[in-house]
Amino acid sequence: MYSGPIILIGFMGAGKTTIGQLLGQITGLPVIDTDITIEEQEKRTINTIFNQHGEEYFRNVESRVLRQVVSENAVITTGGGIILRAENRQLLKETGNTFFLECEPNVVVERLAEDDTRPLLKNKSLAEITQMYHNRLPLYKECATCTIDTSTLTMEEVTELILKRMK
């Protein structure tokens, strides 16, 4: 009934992983999380990759993984910074079903208050996170087929909207 890929992009804490799992259950499509794929291929956590090799190395691996999975008939959840590279944005645009899950920075901060697995959010103020979000916003919108604000919706409501807007 559904053919993928269905790609979810958005800032950290927007709900990509949770909504991706729900979409996978409903559609019967496998779910590929690019961050998990990176950790499996690198045999270490993203935090460790950042600490040992830095963000540039991580972004290189992330781009390679996106190229590997972008044509899969699957629900693909991505890391929040995947849109930072032009080559990734081009791939996401060409794919068709790329959904930008938008979420207000203050909601992101609330959702991630207890999460210490996000290297780019460590020791950041709400103002710094808001600035990072606003810097990335046009990049998300550039490659999205559709934008859905997850700030006040349930995961089920977001999933329903995605399925209604599938190409």
35 is in an annotated binding site: yes
Is 167 marked as binding a ligand? no
Q: Annotated binding residue at 117? A: no
Residue ranges of alpha helices (H) inside the chain are: 16-27, 34-42, 46-69, 86-95, 105-111, 126-143, 155-164
Has 17 been labeled as part of a binding site? Answer: yes
Q: Is 13 annotated as a binding residue?
A: yes
* C-beta of residue 24 within 8 angstroms of C-beta of residue 114: no
**Tokens standing for 163?**
């399925």
Comparing CA positions, the residue from 129, 158, 162 lying closest to residue 144 is: 162
Asked if residue 59 belongs to a known ligand binding site, the reply is yes
Residue 118 marked as a ligand binder: yes
Residue 67 annotated as lining a ligand binding site: no
Find out whether 4 is annotated in a ligand binding site: no
Work out the burial of residue 26: count CB atoms within 10 Å of its CB; fewer than 13 is exposed, 13-18 middle, 19 or more buried: middle
111 known member of a binding site: no
> Mapping DSSP to helix (H, G, I), strand (E, B) and coil, where does residue 31 land?
strand
CA–CA separation, 76 and 2 (whole Å): 14
80 is in an annotated binding site: yes
Q: Which residues are annotated as a binding site for ATP?
A: 13-18, 118
Question: Residues annotated as binding site for substrate?
Answer: 35, 59, 80, 136
Binding site feature residues for Mg(2+): 17
Annotated binding site: 13-18, 35, 59, 80, 118, 136
